[in-house]
């Protein structure tokens, strides 16, 4: 080979190894094995174990040795160069994939933005930046529709071995997606002042999130909801408005915690059996449907959230007692009637009489003091009356002569 090609080989090999982070010795060893494989392909009856490949890292010159003897066929340098090029490119791709996977291994459990690239059977291939991820059917939201180039937030679930090596698995149905969205939208959660104690989901339908804060002056539920519900609405929009989210105040008291978990039902009475982890809940019959939920959804999520098996019963006394306490006033002892009480009773009557007399005086004043226009009209009418009487003389009745004779 000319000296220029040899120097280019060495420079290119060192440059690629430095940029891509591939060790030069590893690449050279791989090229040697590839050269032996190429030699065996050209000579089918040869046993490769008895042969050895020699590659000069400075010049790029390749030789085939058989028991120390050079048996390199003429023109083999071109084949060795092509083989070395292919092996180096393959090693670079493998090294890049390893670097990408090692980067995403550190980001497992976080939320990333992706875009739907294509559909591979039941699986959805999602572009998450530097690589492609797979979203299997069990990690998809059942009632959510996906289309090409759709942008969505996904949860990096795991990296596992697949048919084509290691594959990145993402999810839309995991609890980690909801937790990551809360960290993204609520600064108090990302800073740690508000803690998410538990999350339960039925993807695409409803979720319950228990939050707590140990710092005084911070309302955990209000922080997650935001002003006029801005923060929680942003999270709901990430699911396309399909999933309702209930934010619950976490309590150390088990009874209060279970009562909060059954919201929006109110006036709930809870009896807890900690040994059997069973909670007997008594709910007013009017709120029974709210406590159970559609298809038992509300009580099912509350049971998963608290870790107790919840048994709900209708109770009429619960609501009646609450209403009775709010409405009924404390009994007062009867007091004898006094002059002061009679005076207080008579006051409104006197006030009414005073108002009526005032009205009558106003009416009489308006009658006594007519306006100037009314006076003029009355005077004109009185002046016209005698004229009309004079203008209309009375005519005597004429009686026919025949009637006079009779």
Q: Would strands 206-212 and 244-249 be described as parallel, antiparallel, or unpaired?
A: parallel
Is the domain of 79 the same as that of 18?
yes
Can you tell me the distance from the alpha carbon of 299 to that of 310, in angstroms, rounded to the nearest whole number?
7
Is the domain of 8 the same as that of 98?
yes
Q: What pLDDT shows up at residue 310?
A: 92
- What values do phi and psi take at 147, rounded to 5? -140, 165
Torsion, Cα of 184, 190, 194, 197 (10° steps): 80
Q: What's the half-sphere exposure (Cβ side, CA atoms, 13 Å) at 169? A: 15
**201, 261, 269 from 264: Cα distances, Å:** 17, 9, 14
Is the domain of 48 the same as that of 125?
no
Q: Nearest to residue 277, comparing CAs of 313, 314, 311, 312? A: 311
Q: What is the domain-level CATH number for residue 266? A: 3.30.300.20
Is the domain of 17 the same as that of 98?
yes
Note whether residue 378 is domain-resident: no
Can you tell me the distance from the alpha carbon of 133 to that of 166, in angstroms, rounded to the nearest whole number?
10
Note whether residue 369 is domain-resident: no
Domain boundary pick from 329, 352, 384:
329
Q: What pLDDT shows up at residue 91?
A: 73
- Full residue range of the structural domain in which residue 225 is found: 174-250
Note whether residue 406 is domain-resident: no
- The pTM (predicted TM-score) of the whole model is 0.63
Q: What is the domain-level CATH number for residue 111? A: 2.40.50.140
Note whether residue 396 is domain-resident: no
- Are 205 and 244 in contact by the 8 Å Cβ rule? The answer is yes
Q: What pLDDT shows up at residue 176?
A: 93
Q: What pLDDT shows up at residue 352?
A: 47
Q: What pLDDT shows up at residue 75?
A: 73
Domains identified in the chain, total number: 4
Is the domain of 160 the same as that of 182?
no
Burial of 194 (0-12, 13-18, 19+ CB in 10 A): buried
Is the domain of 140 the same as that of 167?
yes
Q: What's the half-sphere exposure (Cβ side, CA atoms, 13 Å) at 209? A: 28
Note whether residue 157 is domain-resident: yes
Is the domain of 116 the same as that of 82?
no
Can you tell me the distance from the alpha carbon of 56 to that of 234, in angstroms, rounded to the nearest whole number?
62
Note whether residue 352 is domain-resident: no
Is the domain of 217 the same as that of 276?
no
**β-pair partners for 376:** none
- pLDDT tens digit at each of 406 positions of the chain: 344 444 577 777 777 777 766 777 777 787 788 888 777 777 777 776 778 888 777 777 778 888 878 888 777 767 777 776 777 778 778 878 888 888 899 999 999 999 999 999 999 999 999 899 999 999 999 999 999 999 999 999 999 888 878 899 999 999 999 999 999 999 999 999 999 999 999 999 999 999 999 988 899 999 999 999 999 999 999 998 999 999 999 999 999 999 999 988 888 899 999 888 999 999 988 888 888 988 899 999 999 999 999 999 887 664 445 444 444 444 444 444 444 443 344 444 444 444 555 445 544 444 444 555 665 666 666 665 544 444 444 444 444 444 444 3
Is the domain of 38 the same as that of 63?
yes
Is the domain of 64 the same as that of 147?
no
Is the domain of 262 the same as that of 208?
no
Which residues are CB-contacts of 396 (< 8 A; sequence separation ≥ 6)?
none
Domain boundary pick from 307, 329, 351:
329
Q: What is the domain-level CATH number for residue 70? A: 3.30.1480.10
Side by side, the strands of the sheet bearing 269-273 are 269-273, 278-283, 309-314
Note whether residue 288 is domain-resident: yes
Domain boundary pick from 289, 314, 329:
329
| DSSP string for residues in 231-299 | HHHHHHHHTTT--EEEEEE--SSHHHHHHHHTTT--S-EEEEETTTTEEEEEE-GGGHHHHH-GGGHHH
Work out the end-to-end distance of the chain between its first and last CA atoms, rounded to an integer number of angstroms.
Answer: 174
Is the domain of 17 the same as that of 78?
yes
């Amino acid at each position: 080979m000319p000296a220029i090609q040899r120097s280019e080989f060495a420079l290119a090999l060192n440059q690629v190894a430095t940029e891509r982070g591939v060790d030069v010795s590893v690449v050279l060893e791989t090229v040697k094995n590839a050269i032996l494989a190429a030699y065996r392909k050209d000579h089918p009856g040869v046993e490769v174990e008895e042969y050895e490949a020699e590659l000069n890292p400075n010049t790029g010159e390749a030789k085939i040795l058989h028991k120390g003897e050079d048996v390199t066929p003429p023109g083999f340098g071109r084949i060795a160069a092509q083989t070395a090029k292919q092996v180096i490119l393959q090693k670079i791709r493998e090294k890049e994939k390893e670097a990408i996977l090692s980067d995403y291994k550190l980001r497992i459990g976080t939320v990333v933005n992706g875009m739907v690239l294509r559909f591979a059977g039941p699986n959805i291939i999602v572009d998450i930046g530097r690589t492609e991820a797979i979203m299997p059917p069990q990690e998809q939201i059942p009632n959510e529709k996906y289309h090409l180039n759709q942008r969505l937030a996904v949860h990096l679930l795991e990296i596992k071995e697949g048919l084509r090596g290691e594959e990145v698995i993402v999810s839309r149905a995991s609890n980690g997606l909801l937790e990551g969205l809360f960290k993204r939208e609520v600064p108090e959660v990302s800073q740690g002042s508000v803690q998410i104690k538990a999350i339960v989901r039925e993807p695409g339908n409803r979720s319950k999130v228990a939050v707590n804060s140990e710092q005084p002056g911070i309302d955990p539920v209000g922080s997650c909801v935001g002003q006029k519900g801005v923060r929680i609405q942003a999270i709901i929009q990430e699911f396309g408005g399909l999933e309702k989210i209930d934010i619950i105040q976490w309590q150390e008291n088990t009874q209060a915690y279970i009562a909060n978990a059954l919201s929006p039902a109110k006036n709930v009475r809870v009896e807890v059996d900690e040994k059997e982890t069973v909670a007997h809940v008594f709910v007013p019959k009017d709120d029974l449907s709210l406590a159970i939920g559609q298809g038992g959804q509300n009580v099912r999520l509350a049971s998963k959230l608290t870790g107790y098996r919840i048994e709900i019963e209708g109770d009429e006394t619960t609501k009646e007692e609450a209403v009775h306490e709010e409405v009924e006033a404390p009994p007062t002892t009867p007091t004898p009637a006094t002059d002061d009480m009679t005076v207080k009773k008579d006051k409104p009557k006197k006030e009414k009489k005073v108002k009526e007399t005032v009205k009558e005086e106003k009416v009489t004043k308006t009658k006594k003091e007519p306006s100037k226009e009314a006076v003029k009209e009355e005077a004109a009418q009185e002046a016209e009356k005698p004229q009309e009487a004079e203008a209309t003389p009375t005519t005597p009745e004429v009686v026919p002569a025949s009637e006079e004779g009779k």
